[in-house]
Structure 1
Amino acid sequence: METNNRRLIVFNQMTLDGYFTGENDDISWAHHSPGDVEWNTFVSGNMTGEGVLVFGRKTYEMMAGFWPSPMAKEYDPIMAKQMNEFEKVVFSRTLSNATWNNTRLIKGDLVEEIKKLKKEEGRDLVILGSGSIVNQLVQVGLIDEIQIVLFPVAIGKGRTMFNDISKPLNFKTKSCRSFKNGNIFICYENA
């Protein structure tokens, strides 16, 4: 009997001009309004705990520095609770430990370790941010789905998710949804 492998999903926010972070990894453009019921319902629905969060070191340090803080709990108490409770994996060759609640540090070869994780039973793996690991994994065909929230803003400079790809990559649209606030959610899978 064949078992299904876990999927590896990327969930990222992007500007109209294709950046997922601005200069100095700024993501202040990707804000949401606490009063935006439609958008907040969508975000809460996406954060149901059905996946294991996967980070590279930079994104991990940014998230671990914010979500456990009193500011995060005040800004978005539901999201802060979820982010702190989720199972998390961080890939890094330089971190000596991962102190954020429910986080496992993996120092081995990224591609080989992801292959192992995908073969294990469990919830899907969801990469947030982490452009350097997205670049490496998309080129070797390990990413099963890319979910992008397109924000109606242009920032002019920053980093794309695919800065270092060595060949064209083709995807097909799995689903798409627009929101009254101007955001568009697009889900792609490999073509």
Structure 2
Amino acid sequence: MGKLNVFNFISLDGYYKDANNGIDWHQHGQEEGEFSAKNLEHDSILLFGRITYEMMASWWPSQNAIEAMPEVAKGMNQAEKIVCSNTLQHTTWQNTRIMSGDILTQITELKKTLPKDITILGSGNLSTQLAEAGLIDTYQLMIDPVAIGKGTSVFSGMQRQLNLKLTDTRSFKSGTVLLSYEAYN
């Protein structure tokens, strides 16, 4: 049985995207890149909402991404990917399939039947929907040492309390901190 994990980076004031839906404030240095590349070796299925998928699909297969972060680009491009969307008709990024319809039921079944983990990258709306349903097992939040003032909270729209137990911390030389949590009821 696989676990459903969330990995997201946020600003010090709790936003995963700024008021213009941008993420260019995120500083992903060499050490964070090495961490990301190592995590991609775990053969987890990557799960995205449509908006995050389109952003990722436009960047990671590009020559700029391959030159800037070759190991992360390799891992992202080779990974099995699922994009949750009721509007997307086809994908262009290799190893990607579309999941539409009743996402909650389908993710519940995947968790029961897959031998590997599923990791949600970004995808705030999808993460909130799955957290509300109690389907997310762990959260990794990479906190950048920057306050952006306005944006969208990583837990925007949550209607219930989310109880988390801190399981690990890691500090990067850049000042970025990674907090790992396990969800419990």
Alignment of 1:34-183 (within 5 A): 36=30, 38-183=31-176
Partner of 1:10: 6
- CA 92–71 in structure 1, closer or farther in 2 if over 3 Å, else same: same
The answer (yes or no) to whether the contact 2:8–2:122 under 8 Å persists in 1 is: yes
Structure 1 window deviating more from structure 2 (43-52 vs 118-127): it is 43-52
Stretches of structure 2 lacking an aligned partner (at least 5 in a row): none
The answer (yes or no) to whether the contact 2:83–2:99 under 8 Å persists in 1 is: yes
Q: Give the structure-1-normalised TM-score.
A: 0.92
How many angstroms apart in 2 are the aligned matches of 1:41 and 1:18? 24
The answer (yes or no) to whether the contact 2:27–2:144 under 8 Å persists in 1 is: no
How many angstroms apart in 2 are the aligned matches of 1:78 and 1:172? 31
Once the two structures are TM-superposed, the CA of residue 43 in structure 1 deviates from its matched residue by: 2.5
Stretches of structure 1 lacking an aligned partner (at least 5 in a row): none
Q: Give the structure-2-normalised TM-score.
A: 0.95
Once the two structures are TM-superposed, the CA of residue 81 in structure 1 deviates from its matched residue by: 1.3
Alignment of 1:14-29 (within 5 A): 14-29=10-25
Once the two structures are TM-superposed, the CA of residue 116 in structure 1 deviates from its matched residue by: 1.2
How many angstroms apart in 2 are the aligned matches of 1:42 and 1:171? 23
- CA 190–151 in structure 1, closer or farther in 2 if over 3 Å, else same: same
Partner of 2:179: 186
Once the two structures are TM-superposed, the CA of residue 49 in structure 1 deviates from its matched residue by: 4.0
Once the two structures are TM-superposed, the CA of residue 90 in structure 1 deviates from its matched residue by: 0.4
SS of equivalent residue, structure 1 residue 20: strand
How many angstroms apart in 1 are the aligned matches of 2:183 and 2:111? 16
The answer (yes or no) to whether the contact 1:49–1:86 under 8 Å persists in 2 is: no
The answer (yes or no) to whether the contact 1:150–1:183 under 8 Å persists in 2 is: yes
Structure 1 window deviating more from structure 2 (128-137 vs 68-77): it is 68-77
SS of equivalent residue, structure 2 residue 41: coil
Structure 1 window deviating more from structure 2 (10-19 vs 119-128): it is 119-128
Q: Tell me the amino acid that sits aligned with residue 133 of structure 1.
A: L
How large is the RMSD of aligned CA atoms in angstroms?
Answer: 1.2
**Aligned residue-pair number:** 184
